[in-house]
Structure 1
Amino acid sequence: MNALPDPWPLSDEQRAITDLCRDFARNEIRPHARAVDEADVVTPVDIWRKAAEVGITDFMLPEDVGGGGFTDVFTQCLVQEELCFGDPGIGNLVCSNGFFADPVLELGTEDQKKRWLGPLTGPQAHMTALATTEPGAGSDAASIRTTARRVDGGYVLNGQKAWISNAGAARSYVVFAKTDPDQRSRGVTAFLVDADSHGLSVGEPMRKMGQRAIVCRELYFSDVFVAEADRLGAEGQGFHGLMRTFDISRVVLGAASVGAARAAYEYARDYARVRVQFDKPIIEHQAVAFRLADMATRIETSRLLVLRAARAIDAGAPDVAGLAAMAKLTASETAMFCTWGAVQTLGGWGYSREYPVEQWMRDAKLEEIEEGTSDIMRIVVSRHLP
């Protein structure tokens, strides 16, 4: 799948970071992926530290806070695809600080960027988390019920968040809460919250189908004080920052899906070349060959759409929500199709935990759910038809 020329020219720096992440995925991620999956609710801190040491966990942060300076979404997609080729859960984990950084970069002051993003750089980089989802508010982020009541010097947060990636391991959170509970999107405000804040607690790890490298927990806020200096943007501006974050994260997660799909395709293709049934390699059987053709075609289509959406965001296009939703929808469903296709191609062995494709199929399902389900993505696309 890498034999084709790049659809867009890459700089030497982009090629270097892509090569670095490709090698890291093959040498540090893929060999340990099954053990991480079996551990179920254990964050692979050792892999995180190795990624931090070579500059992968902070490559997307600005240079002026100590990061790698690849702030463009296009390069982030190149990296995400390569890492998630190694393993979707681990790949998403080692780049997860980018999801925390996006609203800080969009809404934060220069002082906030230095104070909160600086600790995310270097070999001892902290983990972070984005806290939006609640038990009763998933894709409908405007319906969150966590409140932020103004008091002298700041705000007091009360409420509950669910399915928060890295909760418990994170040293800091971007939390979205309602400063005006009677409003929907116009009442949402973003806050920077330290994990050691009094009144903030975490629940037990949530047991998941896949992407177990990213441990999710619930967060509980009981009169958590947040200084006014740690509010991101103005009151009521949080939803704008969140939607901007979603535009970026959906495209980046689309790239993650492309990586997962590519891994499944290449594994199934190589297996089909050596597995003999009815006196010939199964790749010579029409049903298998056609399935692999469909997988390869969907991967190339998804990659091109993801990179086009990334280019649009980087160019400052005024309305990218529909294109970002198209990219995530197409790529996530491609990942699900290709991982299913890999299991199908391996037959009974694909259903066995002896081979990685059954795990990749479980991992891929999350991409059709997180940051907006496929159903929601279709709604977004329908509202932004060209």
Structure 2
Amino acid sequence: MSTTAWPLTDEQTQIVALCKEFAEREIRPRGREVDEADVVTPVDIFAKAAKVGITDFMIPEAYGGGGFTDVFTQCLVQEELCWGDPGIGNLVCSGGFFADPILALGTEDQKRRWLTPLTGPDAPLTALATTEPGAGSDAASIVTTATRVDDGYLLTGQKAWISNAGAAELYVIFAKTDAGLRSGGVSAFLVRKDAAGMTFGQPMRKMGQRAIVCREVFLDEVFVPESDRLGEEGQGFYGLMSTFDISRVVLGAAAVGAARAAYEYALDYARTRKQFGRLIIEHQAVAFRLADMATRIEAARLLVHHAARVIDEGGSATGLAAMAKLTASETAMFVTHAAVQTLGGWGYSREYPVEQWMRDVKLEEIEEGTSDIMRLVISRNLS
């Protein structure tokens, strides 16, 4: 279990223990199998997590969820699950990314209609559709349109790299209600998988985190009633940025969990493997490398938790969230690379999990804003 500078409540201690046990029993043993399968969503693991209350722990109690709405607890959970496997861990908690813009912009009716179905043992998969072929980190440049018609909108466009697309039953889709504006023209819409005019591409072949299958989403005049628009026209970008502040911190926790897994694996290996007549850990170069790994993980976790606490206390955290994601994701890349080096040739082999984890954590330097974008966000929020 990870350490934290802040004391945990009894409820937080219990859910962290539950997630740790689930990660050990259900997630870690399946990581390699899912990675080899490449384009198969492990819905059975998601279903098992739903039955024990892990997939909806972040949904408010008022809508049937676990009531852990604070970002700090979400980080604690995400770290434990991604310690088991980064892709599967992120899949299990993917409902939180869908729920965040609804909680930020939705009416009470929308929250009840769209969040309540996410709770309980039969919770569906969900998806958040922002990225397009020509618009990644720059979400204000999306070109998918939402054209006003009687009683609603027609959505037309193409989304790319959408996690859970095709497998998900419920979607938040961002589109332009005013094509002449950038951020001020972005609106958010709630859409069901069976909506006429919405189709999906083939699974995209990915380097890592293959438990989350990504597809393109094609929108051909998909009708959305006005009652399923989130917030007012043009408020979608605000909801998205609010979601990003949270999701970037939570993804930072995911990166910390994966880094911790790689560090622990390398440490155990170094304590049992001999080279030149001595245990590997007795060689100064290896010992120093492990020391760097441990130090960076602790520093990244502290920054992630600090950012989470600031958000939970109502503070402005856009720059801090970017710092947390940047530091944690680059720490995860450093640590997984160092773990491969520590295992030597075996680290390069698919017989051991560290090479997979190195591929998996690369995504954390890209999704929800690349490291370059995080540095830009930080520079614009310097005090």
TM-score, length basis structure 1: 0.99
Unaligned runs of at least 5 residues, structure 1: none
Deviation of 1:124 (Å)? 0.3
Summarize deviations over 1:266-293 as a string: whole Å, max 9, x none. Answer: 0000000001011110101011001100
Look up the SS of the partner of 1:350 in the other structure: helix
1:273 lines up with 2:265 in the alignment: no
Compute the RMSD of aligned alpha carbons.
0.7
Which residue pairs with 1:288 in the alignment?
A: 286
Which residue pairs with 1:63 in the alignment?
A: 61
Once residues 263 and 247 of structure 1 are traced to their aligned partners in structure 2, the CA distance between those partners, rounded to angstroms, is 25
Deviation of 1:197 (Å)? 0.2
Summarize deviations over 1:215-261 as a string: whole Å, max 9, x none. Answer: 00000000100000000000000000000000000000000000000
Identify the match of residue 341 of structure 1 among 334, 338, 342: 338
Runs (4 or more) in structure 1 with deviation over 6 Å come to: none
Deviation of 1:345 (Å)? 0.2
Identify the match of residue 194 of structure 2 among 153, 173, 196: 196
Q: Pairwise mapping of residues 92-107 of structure 1 onto structure 2 (< 5 A)? A: 92-107=90-105
1:29 lines up with 2:27 in the alignment: yes
1:184 lines up with 2:182 in the alignment: yes
Which residue pairs with 1:315 in the alignment?
A: 313
Identify the match of residue 117 of structure 1 among 107, 112, 115: 115
Which residue pairs with 1:240 in the alignment?
A: 238
Which residue identity does 2:97 align to in structure 1?
A: F
Deviation of 1:103 (Å)? 0.1
Once residues 221 and 370 of structure 2 are traced to their aligned partners in structure 1, the CA distance between those partners, rounded to angstroms, is 32
Which residue identity does 1:273 align to in structure 2?
A: R
Q: Percent identity?
A: 77
Look up the SS of the partner of 2:348 in the other structure: coil
Q: Pairwise mapping of residues 122-141 of structure 1 onto structure 2 (< 5 A)? A: 122-141=120-139
Which residue pairs with 1:218 in the alignment?
A: 216
Once residues 153 and 166 of structure 1 are traced to their aligned partners in structure 2, the CA distance between those partners, rounded to angstroms, is 29
Deviation of 1:123 (Å)? 0.5
Look up the SS of the partner of 2:267 in the other structure: helix
Q: Pairwise mapping of residues 245-256 of structure 1 onto structure 2 (< 5 A)? A: 245-256=243-254
Deviation of 1:37 (Å)? 0.5
Deviation of 1:63 (Å)? 0.5
Summarize deviations over 1:130-174 as a string: whole Å, max 9, x none. Answer: 000000000000000000000000000000000000000100100
Look up the SS of the partner of 2:344 in the other structure: helix
Aligned length: 383
Look up the SS of the partner of 2:351 in the other structure: coil
Which residue identity does 2:252 align to in structure 1?
A: G
Which residue identity does 2:138 align to in structure 1?
A: D
Which residue pairs with 1:327 in the alignment?
A: 324
Which residue pairs with 1:361 in the alignment?
A: 358
Look up the SS of the partner of 2:238 in the other structure: helix
Summarize deviations over 1:324-368 as a string: whole Å, max 9, x none. Answer: 000000000000000000000000000000000000000010000
Deviation of 1:71 (Å)? 0.4
Look up the SS of the partner of 1:92 in the other structure: helix
Once residues 107 and 216 of structure 1 are traced to their aligned partners in structure 2, the CA distance between those partners, rounded to angstroms, is 26
Identify the match of residue 173 of structure 1 among 171, 174, 191: 171
